[in-house]
Chains A and B, each alone.
Chain A
Amino acid sequence: MSPALLGWLERPPSGTALVDVRAGRSWTYAELAAEVLRRAAAIAGRRKSLVACLCRTDAQSAIAYLGAMAAGHAVMMLDGTAERDTIGRLLDLYQAEFLLDGEGCERLRVSNGPIDDELALLLSTSGSTGSPKYVRLSRHNLDANAAQIVQILDIDGGERAVQALPLHYSYGLSVLNSHLLAGASVVFPGAGLVRPRFWEAMREHACTSLAGVPYTYAILARIGFEHTALPDLRTLTQAGGRMEPETVLHFGRHMIERGGRLVVMYGQTEATARIAYVPPDRVLDKPDRVGVAVPGGRLSLADDGELLYEGPNVMLGYAWRRADLAAGHVNGGRLATGDLAGVDDEGFYSIVGRKRRVAKLSGQRVNLDELEILLMGHGRVAALELSGRLVLVRAAGATTPGRELSRHAGDLIRLPTRLIRVLDVDRLPLTSTGKTDYGTLADELAASDD
C-alpha cells in the first residue's frame, strides 16, 4: 500500500510546503492544508464533477489542483497560457463543470454525465495544445508514481525543488506530487530560466534540485550554469526526451564536481510520469541508456522490439471526450510505450526509435498523425519531420496560403514558423490502402532537394 498523495491534509508535517517568489508568499503544510480544504469546500458536491484547472507555474495553480483533488472530483490540467478559443473548445468537449483560474472559481454548467469512481486526473500527452486526447489517471496511479519517484531520488523532508516545468505537463506535475508526498518543499521562482531572478530565487530559497528537459540543458550550457553559485543544489534530473550522451556526460561530471548528481529518467504521461531511471552512480558509464524500471514496475521487450512496461502507475486509458470519463481500466496495468528499445547484459534499456509517427521538434513531442487531423480544415496535409524541421506537404491546388497553414500549425504545437516548411507537390504518394506513403514521400523530398 503506497502512501497517499494528500496524506498531509490530515497530519501536516512541520516545515514549508510551497514558496511563491513572485507573490512573495510561502505556505507551511498546515497553512496549505487549510487553504486546500477551503478551496475544496467551494466546489464540493455530491456528484463527481470535472474541474478544469488553468495551470501557470505558480503556487495558486498548484493549490487549485490540490483543492479539486481533495474535493474528490476529476481534474483536467490545461495550459494556462493557451489561446482562449483552444481552452473553450476543450471545456465544451469535456463538459467541465468548474473552471479554476488562479484563485478564481467559475461554475460552467450543471452536472453533465457520469465519471468513473477511480478517475482523478486528465493530462494531455501531446505538444499540440488543441489536441482533444487526454490520459486518464487514477489516485492510485498518482500515489504510486509519486512514491516511486520519492524512492529513486531519495527525496526527504529537507529537499527543496525549484518548479521550472509547467504543472499541466506530467514531468512538471510529478515534481510537485513527489515533493508533497515526501513532506518536502516546492519553490515557484516566478521567472524563466533565462532571467537572473530565477537563479536568485534558487539561491535565496536554498533549492536542492532542478528538473529539466533536454532543452533546459541546452539553455544551462548557454547561460554559464557551470559557473553559477548554487551552494544548496544537489540534484539535476533530466527527462522529457532523449538527451545527447555527450550532454549527459558533461552535466553528469559537472554535478559530481559540485558534490551532487544527475539523474536521467524516462517516462510517459501514459505511466503518470516516470517509468525508468539510470541510478546516478551509473550515469557516466551508461550515458545513452534510459536505465532500469522504477520500483514496482517491470520493463520487457515485445517480439518486434517495442518497449513494454507494467506497473501500478499505468493509466486507466485515454479520453477524447466527456463520454470517455465513465470508462474504467482498459490497460490492466500494461503499457506498450511505442518506443523501440534494446537491453544490455546488465538489464539497462536504451531507446532506439519510435514505432509511431511522433516527431521531437524543438524539445516537444509532436504526434504527426494528430497534427494532420487538426489541420484537416486546410485540406489533406502530410506532416513529417526532416532534419529537425516540420514539413507540411500538400497536393497542388490547395487554397490556404502556405504562410497561413504554417502559422496555424505553429500555434497548435507551439513551434516557431521558421522551423516549419510548407511544400506543394504534384500529388501525395499513397499506399495501396489509400494512406499517405511517408517513406516514398520522404525519398521524393530528399531527391528534389539535391
Chain B
Amino acid sequence: MSSAQDGPDFDQLLSEAFTAGLDLPADTDVTTLAFGEHRHWDSLGHMSLVLALEQTFGVSLGDEDVLEIGSYASAAAVLRSKDRAGS
C-alpha cells in the first residue's frame, strides 16, 4: 500500500497542510516559505503547522522533528524520513 509520503500527491498534501496550518490564502506559494519570513509563521503558527502536518500525514512528530522543521523543504525531508523509518 502506498503511503502519503511517497505517493504522487505528496507535494499537493504538503501544500494543503501548510496553507491550513499557517492560515494562508489558497493561492500562496508555500514551497519557498521559511520560519520567521512570513507574518503567520511565528512560534504560534509553527505549533499550528505541526498539528496540521501530523493530521494530514497521520504521523506523530517528536520533539526533534518539531525543531527540525524550519522551511517547506525541511518539512518535506522530515516527513519523508518518517516514511522510511516506517513510522
Q: Which residues of A contact B (CB under 8 A)?
A: 81, 191-196, 199, 215-216, 218-219, 222-224, 227, 362-363, 410, 416-418
Contact = CB atoms under 8 A, between A and B. Distances in A.
Interface string B22-44: 01000000000001100110111
Nearest to B50: A222
Contacts of B48: 416, 418
Interface string B41-56: 0111111101000000
Contact of A224 (B43, B46, B64, B70): B64
B66 interface: yes
Contact of B43 (A219, A410, A418): A219
A224 B66 CA distance: 10
Interface residues of B, number: 21
A223 B44 contact: no
A223 B61 CA distance: 10
The 5 closest A-B pairs by CB, nearest first: A224-B63, A416-B23, A192-B43, A194-B46, A193-B43
Interface of B: 20, 23, 35-36, 39-40, 42-48, 50, 62-64, 66-68, 70
Contact of B39 (A81, A194, A215, A227): A81
A192 B35 contact: yes
A194 B47 contact: yes
B47 A222 contact: yes
Contact of A223 (B35, B42, B67, B70): B67
A418 B67 contact: no
A195 B44 contact: no
A192 B44 CA distance: 10
Contact of A194 (B20, B23, B35, B40): B35
A416 B20 CA distance: 10
B86 to A, nearest CB: 22
B66 A223 contact: yes
A410 B67 contact: no
A155 to B, nearest CB: 25
A218 B23 CA distance: 20
A223 B63 contact: yes
Contacts of B44: 215, 362-363
A81 B44 CA distance: 15
B23 A192 contact: no
A446 B2 CA distance: 43
Contacts of B47: 194, 218-219, 222
Contacts of B63: 222-224, 227
Contact of A192 (B20, B46, B50, B68): B46
19 contacts: A192-B35, A192-B36, A192-B42, A192-B46, A194-B66, A195-B35, A195-B67, A196-B68, A199-B67, A219-B47, A222-B50, A223-B63, A223-B66, A224-B63, A416-B23, A416-B45, A416-B48, A418-B20, A418-B48
